[in-house]
Amino acid sequence: MINNYYLLPFYDFLNLENIGSGAFAQVYKGYEKLPSIAPLHKYREVALKRINLAAITDPAIYKTTINEVKIFSSLDHKNIVKCYRSFEEISPFSQIRYLILVLEYINGGDLHLCIQDRAIKQFCFFHEYEIWYLFEQISSAVYYIHSKKIMHRDLKPPNILLNNNYFVKLADFGLSRLNLAIGGQAKTVCGTPYYMSPERINEEPYTFASDIWSLGCILYEMAALKSPFFGEKENLSSLIQKIRSANFPPIADRFSPQLEYLIESCMNPNMEERPTACEVFNAAQHMNNLWVKWLNEQKNEKNKNEENIIMTEKELLSSSPKVSTSSTNTFTQQIVCSEFFFN
């Protein structure tokens, strides 16, 4: 339900600046005056998503738009963009009806821009510890929404916002589905082809496992600085075939076998064999903790220069044991058990 608490017209927000637009909506950066009984008011920086309801003639899209409001208002997680409130207004100039979401403003761009920037700089790859730091946060947000029976359905780097400290905020629930029962299946086709699972490409029923496929695509892209299906944009049939068969190049061998294995597990063409969001998060959290521990140990060592630290990191990765995909252990045992990780 739309929250009309202390309604303010759209034009009462200060210093509005258009920072993005889509088919039905525009996004602004601005400042909101907070309610106060004192003479001096406080302001907070916000992002305003202004949706033109009159432009939405398709009932399905209208339902999705209203769904976004319901979803945003129900979520409370450190790695998900906050929706402070929402309201409807009628423009005094055009009499057009708008739905306005007042959102937390994130000032560091998004993961897509971050990856693009690194690729432009002659493939300035992420260090593996950076990948795990980011991916733990991403998987934490997805684990949270899945626990709330919410499927995101459009997980991709542009929807992963970052602040200046690389703190992740998952955004854009416009394609989410609320109240999907455990084991339930959705049938609509939507989302971005590069990150769509085989079952969605085939227009088959799909589950929360489709979000896991997308997580695998995102993890791959952070390692390779390109989509696992890069180069197939102009050839849709070839792209579809590669997605169906999970046919993508391996990541560089400078990365650990644990990273490679997690990507392959998430991007299993059989959705029933993919890990759950809980398992993915546990694996990412464990790996991130190990990297943090290792980096702290390196910082505490005396008489070590940066070149020696980087060499030690490479030696460490090359000596990591390969995780066997033929093991009969569960995914959690294969990924999370410390015997598969460096000390």
Q: Using one digit for the tens of pLDDT, what is the confidence trace for 278-314?
A: 999 999 999 999 999 988 888 887 555 555 555 555 5
- Burial class (CB within 10 angstroms; exposed 0-12, middle 13-18, buried 19+) of 32: buried
- What the chain holds in terms of domains, given with CATH numbers, is 10-35+42-104 (3.30.200.20), 111-340 (1.10.510.10)
- The chain-wide mean pLDDT, for the chain, equals 81
Distance CA(204)–CA(323), nearest Å, equals 32
Handedness of CA 199, 263, 151, 57 (dihedral sign): negative
Determine the number of helices (DSSP H) and then strands (DSSP E) in the chain. 10, 7
Among the listed residues 76, 110, 154, 253, the single catalytic one is: 154
Angle at 229 between CA 277 and CA 110, to 5 degrees: 60
pLDDT confidence of residue 5: 37
- Please report which residue ranges of the chain form alpha helices under DSSP H: 59-74, 111-120, 128-147, 198-201, 209-224, 236-245, 257-266, 277-300, 306-318, 331-336
Distance CA(229)–CA(217), nearest Å, equals 9
pLDDT confidence of residue 99: 87
Contacts of 11 (CB under 8 A, 6+ apart): none
Q: What is the pLDDT of residues 149-192, one digit of tens each?
A: 888 988 999 999 999 889 999 998 755 554 343 345 666 555 56
Bridge pairing between strands 97-104 and 83-90: antiparallel
Q: CA torsion, points 215, 221, 222, 226, in degrees to nearest 10?
A: -160
pLDDT confidence of residue 342: 35
Binding-site residue positions for ATP: 49
Binding-site residue positions for Mg(2+): 159, 172
Per-residue pLDDT at 329 exceeds 70: no
Q: What is the pLDDT of residues 129-149, one digit of tens each?
A: 999 999 999 999 999 999 998
Active site residue 58: no
**Single-letter code of the amino acid located at 240:** I
Distance CA(127)–CA(222), nearest Å, equals 10
Q: How many CB atoms lie within 10 A of CB 315?
A: 9
Per-residue pLDDT at 212 exceeds 90: yes
Per-residue pLDDT at 38 exceeds 60: no
Binding-site residue positions: 49, 159, 172
Mean pLDDT of the region 117-136: 91
Find out whether 20 and 27 touch, Cβ atoms under 8 Å. yes
Distance CA(126)–CA(111), nearest Å, equals 12
Q: pLDDT tier at 327 (50, 70, 90 boundaries)? A: very low
- The pTM (predicted TM-score) of the whole model is 0.80
